[in-house]
Amino acid sequence: MEEQDRDEDRTRIRASPIPTTFGGVAALACGPVRWLLSWQAFTATAIGAALTLVLLLTWARDIEQAIADVGTAGEIRDGRFYPSTPKSWLVRNSSFLGIAVVGDPADEPISAADVNLWIEPEGWSMHSLFGRLDGRYPATLRASVDRVEMSGLWSAWKAPILLTFGLATTIGVLMTWVLLATVYSPVLRLVSGFLNRDVGLGDCWKLAAAALLPGALLMTGAFGLYATHQLALVGLLLASPLHILVGWIYCLGGVWRLPKIVSGPNPFIPPMPEETDRPVERSNPFRSS
């Protein structure tokens, strides 16, 4: 009877292998690995496409606008930038990206963008909440920073950059899931042992990998809200630890939905005699043999 209940429990779990519910995560852990791989491939591809669209709506759009407004800013040669005027000015100043041509380092413009790119005589620099990053111009680079030349370069490189970003995001997400599931699985195996759940280490790995999908979708949604001005950069940064917490919630919820271990009969207790429907024959004490 207990074995039948266990089979029914596994059948019930496998009925909905969708990683948006605790039961679905448990179903993916108990089911064939191809179910999990299909969900991972679909979700990672969707995330790569969504983040590419976010990049197109934020930085790519600001770069295109900056190129249209730059005019003739100067020339890069011999490892330096030679501005056409010593005046510093903002080429683009949106909430996402600020781009400025700095003729005099002592006269840097002020921008409230989340990320700022300064084109300075000695090199370029990027500023954000994470700090400042400085870089140098290649000594062999010779380019005019003007609308005509920059438009040609951007038109030639825009599609390859976006395609490379989408593919790199998809592959990076998959590799991150593999790494995190490998780290999470021993912990989930220990938890499942305490909860008396019938699962092995390999199933715990599949459960952890499936539980990471809802959190990744949550983080992708946060990027979408950021791209549509519904979420500030600080809110986007706060969503990062939140999506990790969601992954752990689904991990523990999935473990809870796993079938329990069915214990066998106690070898030290003798089995009970089987009951039969046959009437018990009793000997007649008055009958002679």
Q: Which of 20-29, 44-53, 177-186 has the lowest average pLDDT?
A: 20-29
pLDDT score at 154? 92
Q: Is the dihedral of CA 76, 82, 83, 84 positive or negative?
A: negative
Q: How far apart are CA 273 and CA 5, in angstroms?
A: 24
Q: How far apart are CA 113 and CA 69, in angstroms?
A: 17
Spatial CA neighbour of 29 closest among 264, 220, 212: 212
Residue pLDDT, tens place only, 56-104: 999 999 999 999 988 888 899 989 999 888 888 889 999 999 999 988 7
What predicted TM-score, i.e. pTM, was given to this entire model? 0.81
Q: How far apart are CA 125 and CA 104, in angstroms?
A: 14
Residue pLDDT, tens place only, 151-162: 988 999 999 999
Contacts of 161 (CB under 8 A, 6+ apart): none
Q: How far apart are CA 147 and CA 67, in angstroms?
A: 5
Q: Which of 138-147, 187-196, 257-266 has the lowest average pLDDT?
A: 257-266
Number of H helices, E strands in the chain: 7, 8
